[in-house]
């Protein structure tokens, strides 16, 4: 079954955030918190992401911005 290129963005791995300046340790923290895909990070509230240990408001904002860039 061919899913085509349109579905690739939806299941994009959270590791893609590294291409937008997010460090590997922060990506590991996202995975530990259950955020495995770009779509999951985009859907998450800033409040929930900022609950991750070590995530300040600024870091949360940077992660959200990077996720949106990946999803475009």
CATH number at residue 59: 1.10.150.20
Once rounded to an integer, what is the mean pLDDT over residues 47-65? 97
Domain residues for 37?
14-71
Residue 1 domain-assigned? no
Structure confidence by residue, pLDDT tens digits, 17-52? 999 999 999 999 999 999 999 999 999 999 999 999
Residue 6 domain-assigned? no
Residue 21: strand, helix, or coil? coil
What DSSP state is assigned to residue 57? H
Residue 67 domain-assigned? yes
- The reported pTM is 0.84
Report the C-alpha gap between 26 and 63 in whole angstroms. Answer: 9
Report the C-alpha gap between 47 and 51 in whole angstroms. Answer: 7
């Amino acid at each position: 079954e061919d899913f085509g290129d349109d579905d690739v963005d939806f299941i994009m791995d959270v590791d893609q955030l590294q291409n937008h300046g997010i460090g590997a340790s922060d990506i590991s923290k996202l995975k530990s918190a259950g955020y495995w895909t770009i779509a999951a990070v985009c859907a998450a509230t800033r409040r929930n992401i900022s609950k991750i240990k070590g995530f300040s408001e600024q870091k949360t904002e940077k992660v959200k911005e990077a996720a949106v860039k990946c999803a475009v």
